[in-house]
Structure 1
Amino acid sequence: MCGGCCRRQRGPDGAPVGGRRRGCCGAILAVLALAAAAAVAFLEGTAGGVSYAGDGWLHECAKWDAEGGRFLASTFYGASVAEVRGGEAEERVVLADPDAAGRVALGLAVDAPRRRLLLVYADRLPRIGYAALGAYELGSWRRIFLTRLDVPGESTFSDDVAADEDGNAYVTDTLGSKIWKVSPDGALLGVIRNSTFTQRPGALHNFLGLNGIVYHPNGYLLVVHTSGGDLFKVDPKTETVRVVKVQGSLKRGDGLELLSATRLVIAGVPSRLVESSDGWETASVTGQYVGPIHRVGSSATVKDGDVYVNHLVGFGLGKKKTHVLAKAVFSPLAAAG
């Protein structure tokens, strides 16, 4: 409590007179409100990049579609995909699959060689059963397939997706810490499970498991474990899993994007730049980007050599919320000793 300054005044007979003074309490609240507003304004000012209006509070993932000249973003509620074009202040929904109605759209990948979009669907929390992968033609948005991944009675939360050079897709399960493999025509080929994925014991290290995933042109997958902070190198043919020895923390890592064969962007709180010179046997965190941390970085993409970090949370009081694709500039970090 703030003490005497906010007590009611009393008359000669000891009875309360008038209302509470609005002195120190009001002043303190006003200062706190101004400080909070200034902090948010500062963080918003660090975003740069692309700001646009869209439906709903949460947009999980956004990727650059070079051929289409646009960003494609998944919407958490509505299970749809919207396009965002340069110079336009508002998103436009281009895909809403009626067979995924009532679910959430999460990770997406632009499979440019096959001119298609891969999109992960999951249940709305707190439900944790449904998991599916959809594939759609870029442009016409004709559905190629919608494949269920879940098994009855199993708790799953499908999260992110990557495609290899043959068109096989790999989807992470952040609850079960496994990877589903789906063929180019939508057949479920199998599941990659390995005890290495859950090598760190305890609920704290496994609350959020496998999350962001990318396919490296040298033929393997890189996958981040959000709670454990591990980066895994996975051979999709042999299903061999190795832990990449990383100097620096990757905890709270979310979506991944390769900037080059030797540089990886991990979106999160904060977002990080990770580099490897030995084929991802070892790596180092060499840069960090904070940006509008209150919006929560959730995915990354590369446009014309620049990194853009999609932020999960939209802001605003109206039906349309303001969403941010921040242009990330990474501050160099000293090499770990």
Structure 2
Amino acid sequence: MSINSSKHSLIFTLFLLFQLTSPITKALAGTPHLINFRSQNLYPESLAWDAKNQHFLTGSLNHRTISSISDAGIVETLISDTSLPENVTVLGITVDSLHNRVLAVIHAVHPLPPYNALAAYDLNTGNRLFLSLLPSDDQPALANDVAVDFKGNAYVTNSIGNFIWKINLQGEPSIFSKSARFTENPVDRDSPCNFCGLNGIAYVNNGYLLVAQSNTGKIFKVDAEDGTVRQILLNNVENLTCPDGVVLRSDGVVLVVSPEANKLWMLKSNNGWSEGVVYDKIDLGDEGYPTSVVARERDRMYVLYGYVKEGVLGSLGRESFRIEEVRSPKESEDENVWIYVMVGFGLAYFFYWRFQMGQLVKNMDKKIN
């Protein structure tokens, strides 16, 4: 084998490795996606991702609407339900892609008369499929967030009563899980979220729910069949601070966002969520009050900055809001290491191949001579 031939082979191999890894490197090094959008007095609290139509969905603190937001920040009113009581708030929303629906939690904020409901709308037509008033047995109630399972059952958290409603595919509601586990932990009365109990909720494919409790910082695992509850031990933190929105990524990682702590926690478990670990914590800044997080294709994470606290305190007139992609420094490090491993493996393979070819040439020379 000639020296020039080896050099050309090495150059070709390095060029091939560069071509393979360059798109990944550019993706990791690129600027996170920022979506600024404008809608007068929208103050959205919840965010969902509609994978079929490739846009975000949000509710509103002040309007009886669900809006779609494109990657370019174009806002369109997808659903306007004027048959709902005036001045209600559209809180948690989620997309039920298997049944082509969007589910929305409807709540009336004090001092308006109590009103807690779940509405379901067809994603194609915007027509309302049902409106289910949520029973509370004359107990205080604040319907907050919603998750849906593969059968179309929806689960809604009650942030004041600390229980979970279940609404089946036909819109029939019931009180589902009212475990004493939800009220056994002490509440810090000086906490800014002391009034808010069960909050963000996500359905896990194995047949259970993960639920965050804002005023204790606890995460609970709830059986989706019988409603039994166990508290998840997070073995490297005592509590999360005022957890709000919760979402499950396709790789099993759970994302939890806090508007009071301005943090995004990334949790994972290797034993079916008997316990878990916070393996990354991301600072979100202190402006915008991030209440909700979603994961879209390739598990890209997006956080909603809806300025809800500003709206709750009575401010009017804001029209600028944003959705921002968030990246994990921990995962970026791991991905970069993997790229270097690929390059190293390629070089090692090349030099091994070069050595073998050199040995082959020597053996052939010996036979010829």
TM-score normalized by structure 1? 0.79
Partner of 1:243: 231
Q: Structure 1 residue 207 and structure 2 residue 195: aligned?
A: yes
Give the Cα separation in 1 of the matches to 2:118 and 2:277.
32
Q: What one-letter code is carried by the residue in structure 2 that aligns with 1:282?
A: E
- CA contact under 8 A between 1:274 and 1:285: conserved in structure 2? yes
Partner of 2:342: none
Give the Cα separation in 2 of the matches to 1:154 and 1:93.
34
- Percent of residue pairs bearing the same amino acid type: 27
Give the Cα separation in 2 of the matches to 1:125 and 1:190.
22
Give the Cα separation in 2 of the matches to 1:283 and 1:113.
29
- Aligned-pair CA distance for 1:55: 2.3
Partner residue of 2:295 out of 294, 299, 302 = 302
**1:7-156 correspondence to structure 2 within 5 Å:** 48-56=33-41, 58-87=43-72, 89-100=73-84, 101-127=86-112, 129-151=114-136, 153-156=138-141
Partner residue of 1:276 out of 266, 269, 278 = 269
Q: What one-letter code is carried by the residue in structure 1 that aligns with 2:264?
A: S
- Aligned-pair CA distance for 1:202: 4.1
- CA contact under 8 A between 2:188 and 2:216: conserved in structure 1? no
Question: CA offsets per residue over residues 44-75 of structure 1, 9 Å max, x none?
Answer: xx985211111215210111101111111111
Partner of 2:247: 257
- Aligned-pair CA distance for 1:201: 2.7
Q: What one-letter code is carried by the residue in structure 2 that aligns with 1:274?
A: L
Partner of 1:312: 306
- Aligned-pair CA distance for 1:78: 0.8
Secondary structure, counterpart of 2:98 in structure 1? helix
Partner of 1:328: 326
Question: CA offsets per residue over residues 89-110 of structure 1, 9 Å max, x none?
Answer: 4411111212323200000010
**Residues 208 and 171 from structure 1, CA distance in 2 versus in 1: closer, same or farther, beyond 3 angstroms?**
same
**Residues 137 and 319 from structure 1, CA distance in 2 versus in 1: closer, same or farther, beyond 3 angstroms?**
same
Give the Cα separation in 1 of the matches to 2:256 and 2:321.
19
Q: What one-letter code is carried by the residue in structure 1 that aligns with 2:275?
A: T
Question: CA offsets per residue over residues 229-268 of structure 1, 9 Å max, x none?
Answer: 0000000212110001013232211111111353100011
Q: What one-letter code is carried by the residue in structure 2 that aligns with 1:306?
A: R
Q: What one-letter code is carried by the residue in structure 2 that aligns with 1:310?
A: L
Secondary structure, counterpart of 1:181 in structure 2? strand
Number of residue pairs aligned between Structure 1 and Structure 2: 287
Secondary structure, counterpart of 2:39 in structure 1? strand
Question: CA offsets per residue over residues 191-233 of structure 1, 9 Å max, x none?
Answer: 3101101111346275210000010000000000011000000
Structure 2: any 5+ residue segments left out of the alignment? 1-30, 332-369
**Residues 288 and 184 from structure 1, CA distance in 2 versus in 1: closer, same or farther, beyond 3 angstroms?**
same
Give the Cα separation in 2 of the matches to 1:90 and 1:216.
32
Give the Cα separation in 2 of the matches to 1:187 and 1:57.
30
Partner of 2:143: 158
Give the Cα separation in 1 of the matches to 2:76 and 2:296.
20
- Aligned-pair CA distance for 1:270: 1.0
Higher fraction of helix: 2
Secondary structure, counterpart of 2:319 in structure 1? strand
Q: What is the alpha-carbon root mean square deviation over aligned residues?
A: 2.4
**Residues 244 and 250 from structure 1, CA distance in 2 versus in 1: closer, same or farther, beyond 3 angstroms?**
same
Q: What one-letter code is carried by the residue in structure 1 that aligns with 2:324?
A: A
Partner of 1:231: 219
Partner of 2:284: 291
Larger Rg: 2
